[in-house]
Structure formats: C-alpha cells, structure tokens
Amino acid sequence: MTTRSETRTALDHLLTEIEHRNPAQPEFHQAAHEVLETLAPVLAARPEYAEPGLIERLVEPERQVIFRVPWQDDKGRVHVNRGFRVEFNSALGPYKGGLRFHPSVNLGVIKFLGFEQIFKNALTGLGIGGGKGGSDFDPHGRSDAEVMRFCQSFMTELYRHIGEHTDVPAGDIGVGGREIGYLFGQYRRITNRWEAGVLTGKGAGWGGSLIRPEATGYGNVLFAAAMLRERGEDLEGQTAVVSGSGNVAIYTIEKLTALGANPVTCSDSSGYVVDEKGIDLDLLKQIKEVERGRVDTYAERRGSSARFVPSGSVWDVPADLALPSATQNELDENAAATLIRNGVKAVSEGANMPTTPEAVHLLQRSGVAFGPGKAANAGGVAVSALEMAQNHARTSWTSARVEEELTDIMNNIHTTCHETAERYDAPGDYVTGANIAGFERVADAMLAQGVI
C-alpha cells in the first residue's frame, strides 16, 4: 500500500510538471496546488485513483478553445478581443460554468476558474461537469449597442462549442442579464433553435429561474450560517464585512440582513464604504444596478452614518464575519491578520479564490471557520442546474421552491465537507473536506468511464 509520504512526493512531482506545462499561469498553478496538496490522504487510502493516470487527466482540460472576437464601437472603429472557453471535465455531466468579461481575463485565469468549477459542481450533487470561459473585453463604459455587438461576435464563434447536453455557460464578472440576453439571442439566430437550456442566468420571463440572481450570495450566507451553527452560534446580531458591490455582494448583504446580521461594508475598485447603520440595500441597488455608479455615491447620498474610504482595505473594519465577494486574491495574509486581531469568527468566500493560500492557512491556524469558495459559493451554479431542469421540463418553479432547494443543497454541501474532513482526520477543515469530497465524486465517475 502506498504511504502518505510516497503519495505526497508523487503529487509534488505532478505540481512541478503542471507549472512546466502551463507557464505564466499563476492563478491556475495556485488552484492546482490548493486542491492537490489536500489529496494525499485519499490517494493513500484509495490507490486505485492513482493507477490509470487519473490525477494527470484531471488537471488537463478536455478541451481549450481560444478565438478572435472582432467588433465595432459606436464610432465605427474595429476592436479585436480574445475569447476563451475551457471545457475542463465532463465526467459528471455537461460542462457548466460562467463567462467572465474583464480586462484581466487570460487563459490562466479561465483555467483556474474552470478547475475550481469541477469540484464546486461535483459538491452540488446535480450532475454537471466543470468549465469556464470569457474574454478580455471590458463592458464598463460601453453602450448597450456596443455590448450587443460584442456579444453577437463572441457567440458567433462560441455557439459551435456549446449546447444543453454539451456545455452550458452562465454569467460571471461583467456578464449579467443584459449580456446573457444578447448571447442567447445570437445563439437562437444562428442555430434556429429555441434551446433554453444552452445558457443559464436568463430573464425570468424567457426561461430563467427565480432566485438565480440571488443564489450565489444567498448560498454563501447559508454556508456561513451552517459553519456558525456547528460552533453553537447563529447569524443574529453578528457584524459582517462584505467586499464588492456586484451581484454576489448585493445578495450576500440582502441575505445577511434577512437572517439578522448587520452587514456594514461594500466596495469597488474606487474604495470602500462603511455604514454603521448597516448597508441600505435599496440605495446600493439603485446606484450599482440601475445607475451603474460607484460606491462613493452611496456614501454621499446615505448621510452621516456612512463614510467612503478611498484607500486601505475593507478588511480593516472590525467584524464577526467576513465574506469576500469581489475577485481572486483580494484577502491576503496581512488582511487576514487584521481580521483575526479584530475578532473575526468566520470567513466565507463568495468570490472564486479571493483568499490567498497564506491567508487561508493563517485563518485556519487561528481557529477561524473558513468556507472555501468551491463549497460556499456553489449556490449560483446549483440554481443554474435547477434552471436547466426547469428548461428541460418547459416549466418554472416558484421562488419559495427554488429557495427551499437552494437551502437544502447548501446545507448538504456543508454536511458533506464537514463529514469528509472528519473522515480524513482533519476536523473543521472545510478546505480539505470540500476538495476530497468533490474529488471523490469526479474520480469515481472517471474510473467507471475508462481512460478517455
């Protein structure tokens, strides 16, 4: 039987090979390290996982598509962006994962997101594989007509790679209801098919699911609540700091408020707001979702309870809970140390990999409950899968039914991660629990389907 030490050595060699085969992709390297460094116990206990080169296949995408996206702005000038779709693993079902439109997008970022998506989707138990896509296009400041022309050009290439039984994209940073609408319209135009299940995040009136916009934020709060319950506490009366002011952050704030917590911050690239009375959700939605404005406007309109801070970090604000909901690697070791000094009890990731490895280790060593994104923010993709189910049946569910399903899924994910961590002698370690539980589900399917 292979020992943990021998398995650890083999994984170290594989990680070196991953870095060699995927140069200049630090985000993907980080994601691979984060998962593989926790797998030694399960590989030692179940050596059949190492036999058919399973790990080597798992870290190599099944397909990587890169394409040119030419489009014209309102003045007739031609721009050329780069589009990506990484179809990482389909052992459990069709590839499922969002599209991100942001200047920071490159192949390494998409691969990191797609790799994370494999395990996140597996944890939902809903039969969906992992993939991700996007473009380095920046929709900020562009007119609706410019965004439409970009989306139509993007879909003109992407359509040949997706389908409700093959690959089902959704939204992510920079891709909301407007963009999904334009993308779906172009797909329908090209294919001459009303294939509702090809994209999720659609409008509720034309195939979308109720609670989908709220799902990632709601799910993250539900996971945080489950972690607190495990420690004999609840959300009532807890102060929370939330980063970001997009879809995930807004609905994180909404659910925190509904469950009795007091979220006091939000942020964007210009700085952050602290509102001692608690974030006024209606005002924040008006500024960010309707006016597409900045958070400093929130502070101007809110009054004396709120202040805008253009520098520093949202993590400087004392709180019981921290919910990073903006982007990757936004919470570093210094920020984690500040949160710990200020008495934080739990950190739950609404964004994808927003906490650096050093910060994660510090939080765990300090006894802070830490919910990794692949578990804590799985609510979004879970409701996307529920949207696919509704599309398949040509029906729609009530908000109450969707939210009930989401609550059950998030509680089951928490239970699965918690019990798996205990089974592998890492009690309370949700990172290890999430990685191993997601891996086992995918690995079993891969073994059953042969070397492909």
Q: Which residues are catalytic?
A: 132
Which pair of structure tokens corresponds to residue 243? 């980063």
Which pair of structure tokens corresponds to residue 386? 């529920």
Tokens 């990794």 -> residue: 372
What lies within 8 Å, CB to CB, of 236 at 6+ separation is: 259, 260, 261
Distance CA 320, CA 266 (A): 16
| Coil, strand or helix at 413 | helix
Distance CA 250, CA 281 (A): 7
Distance CA 235, CA 311 (A): 29
Beta-strand relationship, 167-170 and 129-135: unpaired
Distance CA 275, CA 240 (A): 11
Distance CA 236, CA 95 (A): 38
Distance CA 397, CA 186 (A): 26
Tell me the one-letter amino acid at 38: T
